[in-house]
Amino acid sequence: MADLTTRKDRRAGRITFTRPKALNALSHEMALQIDAALRAWQNDPEVALIIVDAEGERAFCAGGDIAALYHAARQGDHQPGRDFFRDEYRMNARIEEYPKPIVAFMQGFVMGGGVGVGGHASHRIVGETTQVAMPETGIGMIPDVGGSWLLARAPDHAGEYLGLTGARMGAGDAIWAGFADHFIPESEWPGLIDRLAETGDPGVIAPHPRPEAPLAGADLSAFAGATVAEIIAALEASGDEAALKPLRRASPLSMAATLELVRAARGDASIRDSLAREMRFTARTTEMGDFLEGVRAQIIDKDRNPQWAADASPAHVAAMLASLGPEEITWEDAS
């Protein structure tokens, strides 16, 4: 069976993740397939809107399929990772900038690469099982796929909190933080998808009241600290063990870079600025970061005991985020 299907359904272009046993993890080929479908439908008069959904109850898309990148980099070939990230980011930008409505139905886990697909849609629907997160610091990465763009626009210091801790958001928190738009019970999704395909009109979406958003009432003032060390010190002073626990497990380099990325993205004019900055880190992470060790510990060996070794100094963070020169991401294919 294909990992992803694209087709036209009455007035809609349909994109469906179809590898539920792998939690619909996004591969390089799937990213290219999504991008190709969006390009084909952009000027197609028969397609009024795009619907993105996923098979299975457990996940819309739980992240990127990164095992292949790990194995290639372990053999000294870092190009597959760079190629994947570049093409994925172009696809993320296309979704955010798309001239037609894109309606994403996001159940279960929506993490990493899944946020890059669903989180940039114009109409983002969540349900009672939705769990949204950007947990990349736990595998030696940063919130990429435009994650820094979304985190930068979350209220108060929720962006720093979510990016550093990888905390999961239910439907209410996801809407409050700007990662989703509408709560609709998942039992209603099939009927709504049918109406969208029939009418081509996102105006048929009738959201329910937003569920409770615990994060909206949380004290996140510690995450205003200028550095990760200051944030940790403030959390220790307040005795916030729940927030400290993931910070003690995450890559110090990834956390320091995430803090820089989220705060820099607050000044960005478009998602392309944020994605270009993310690309600078991800292009280097298999050689100069903690990514290989994080993937080994969490996905390959699954010992959950990463031995972080990358330099987390301000100078190294700056080096990881420095221009790639001629290798900077270009956007000619995303226009």
For residue range 67-76, what is the model confidence (pLDDT) as tens digits? 888 999 999 9
Query: Going by C-beta distance under 8 Å and a sequence separation of 6 or more, which residues neighbour residue 45?
Result: none
Annotated active-site residue in 144, 160, 260, 290: 144
> pLDDT band at residue 30, thresholds of 50, 70 and 90?
very high
> pLDDT band at residue 297, thresholds of 50, 70 and 90?
very high
Mean pLDDT of the chain: 96
Could you confirm whether 136 is annotated as catalytic?
yes
CA distance 248 to 186: 36
| Mean pLDDT to the nearest integer, 98-111 | 98
Give yes or no for residue 59 having a pLDDT over 80. yes
CA distance 295 to 290: 9
| Mean pLDDT to the nearest integer, 17-44 | 97
pLDDT of 68 reads 85
Annotated active-site residue in 13, 63, 112, 113: 113
| Mean pLDDT to the nearest integer, 175-187 | 98
Query: Which is nearest to 110 in space by CA: 121, 118, 120?
Result: 118
Give yes or no for residue 333 having a pLDDT over 80. no
pLDDT in tens, 216-248: 999 999 999 999 999 999 999 999 999 999 999
Annotated active-site residue in 64, 81, 119, 163: 64
How far from 165 is each of 57, 110, 143, 179, CA to CA, in Å? 25, 16, 11, 16
Give yes or no for residue 81 having a pLDDT over 60. yes
Give yes or no for residue 335 having a pLDDT over 60. no
If one counts every other C-beta atom within 10 angstroms of the C-beta of residue 202, the result is: 16
| Size (the chain), residues | 335
Q: Which residues pair with 14 in a beta bridge?
A: 7, 51
CATH of domain 4-327: 3.90.226.10
Look up residue 61 and give its two tokens. 């898309």
Query: Which is nearest to 117 in space by CA: 150, 82, 162?
Result: 150
Could you confirm whether 63 is annotated as catalytic?
no
| Mean pLDDT to the nearest integer, 120-149 | 97
> Which residue type occupies 250?
A
pLDDT of 65 reads 86
pLDDT of 82 reads 95
Percent of the chain at pLDDT exceeding 90: 96
What is the 3-state secondary structure of the chain? Answer: CCCEEEEEECCEEEEEECCHHHCCCECHHHHHHHHHHHHHHHCCCCCCEEEEEECCCCEEECCECCHHHHHHHHCCCCHHHHHHHHHHHHHHHHHHHCCCCEEEEECEEEECHHHHHHCCCCEEEECCCCEEECCHHHHCCCCCCCHHHHHHCCCCCHHHHHHHHCCCECHHHHHHHCCCCEECCHHHHHHHHHHHHHHCCHHHCCCECCCCCHHHHCCCHHHHCCCHHHHHHHHHHHCCHHHHHHHHHCCHHHHHHHHHHHHHHCCCCCHHHHHHHHHHHHHHHHHHCCHHHHHHHHHHCCCCCCCCCCCCCHHHHHHHCCCCHHHCCCCCCCC
pLDDT in tens, 272-294: 999 999 999 999 999 999 999 99
Specify the pairing of strand 4-9 against strand 12-17. antiparallel
Could you confirm whether 113 is annotated as catalytic?
yes
| Mean pLDDT to the nearest integer, 22-45 | 97
CA distance 230 to 259: 12
Could you confirm whether 166 is annotated as catalytic?
no
End-to-end CA separation in angstroms for the chain: 31
Give yes or no for residue 334 having a pLDDT over 70. no
On whether the CB atoms of residues 196 and 103 are closer than 8 A, the answer is: yes
| Mean pLDDT to the nearest integer, 311-328 | 97
CA distance 224 to 220: 8
> pLDDT band at residue 1, thresholds of 50, 70 and 90?
low
Annotated active-site residue in 35, 136, 173, 181: 136
CB-based burial label for 22 (10 Å; 0-12, 13-18, 19+): middle
On whether the CB atoms of residues 21 and 1 are closer than 8 A, the answer is: no
